[in-house]
Amino acid sequence: MARDRQIALLFPGQGSQTADMRETVDRLRPDLLELALEEVGPDLFERAADGTRWAQPAIYCAALAGAEELEVDAGVMAGHSLGEITALVHAGALGAEDGLRLVAARGRFMQEAAEETGDGGMTAVRAREDNRDVIAEVATANDVAIANDNAPDQLVLSGAVDALDRVEAQLQERGVRGKRLPVAGAFHSPLMQPAVEPFRAVVEDIEFAEPRVPVMSCVTARPFEDIPDQLVRALTEPVLWLDVVRALDERGVTEFVETGPGHVLTNLVKKSLAMEAAGA
């Protein structure tokens, strides 16, 4: 029997930035553009590729504006990393201005944490069902965290640059390929700890409401329960995106719509569900 139509609306995280983000926000949410330029700086969108303190609020604004244009009747929402905040805003758990303040602070504190802890980075690793334990063992032995579980064939590792060098070499000896990502920080790892308390202070100053539809947490792969706590935990804990996709599939979702910018999440979803169906 075919499933009844149910839509999940997806909100992208960092790495999804595109050149037309400012134009999108100016066209659809000029009020949000004005707030963003005041909160972060007049060169916000031009500097989106320069670091997380600019990329996160720029993507937040573009994704929120894009979601309003889509006018999708979603029964559930999910966001990858910072996209969780955008999803919560679109679901009515907090206002757009508070969401911008939260994302701007998050990006700033994460960049400052990366600068404080020294060289940090992230490596995408080609995973398989039969080598995930090996990847985890090598990472743990070198004090490297699994930051993102994005798809059945993709894990992202996070840690100090010299530790990532060792992990990449040891995994290559085991036939596992890795690719260093162009980010200047060990995001979603214990090296983000300096950002935790400053971010918690901002989170605790915001009043959250019950979202009008369930919003999935990437920390638990279940609908948000304690929004402030789970947003703070997300700084140092992994993004369980594959588990979120599985949970959405189990909820009966039949259609996945991404707000943009980019199509990173819908591509991951299609690949993940196809590989799961094939038993990969």
List pLDDT tens digits, range 44-62: 999 999 999 999 999 999 9
Please give the single-letter amino acid code of residue 149. D
Would you say residue 1 has pLDDT above 70? no
Would you say residue 280 has pLDDT above 70? no
List pLDDT tens digits, range 145-164: 999 999 999 999 999 999 99
pLDDT at 3: 66
pLDDT at 61: 97
Phi, psi dihedral angles at 18 (to 5 degrees): -130, 165
Q: What is the mean pLDDT of the chain?
A: 95
pLDDT at 74: 96
Can you list the domains of the chain with their CATH numbers?
7-116+189-278 (3.40.366.10), 118-180 (3.30.70.250)
Cα dist. 202→227, 228, 246 in Å?
13, 10, 32
Catalytic residues: 81, 188
CB contact at 8 A, 191 and 114? yes
Measure the CA–CA gap between 258 and 10, rounded to whole angstroms.
Answer: 5
Sheet holding 178-180, edge to edge: 145-151, 154-160, 120-126, 178-180
| Predicted TM-score (pTM) above 0.75 | yes
Strands 76-79 and 215-216: parallel
Which 3 state secondary structure label does DSSP give 207? Answer: coil
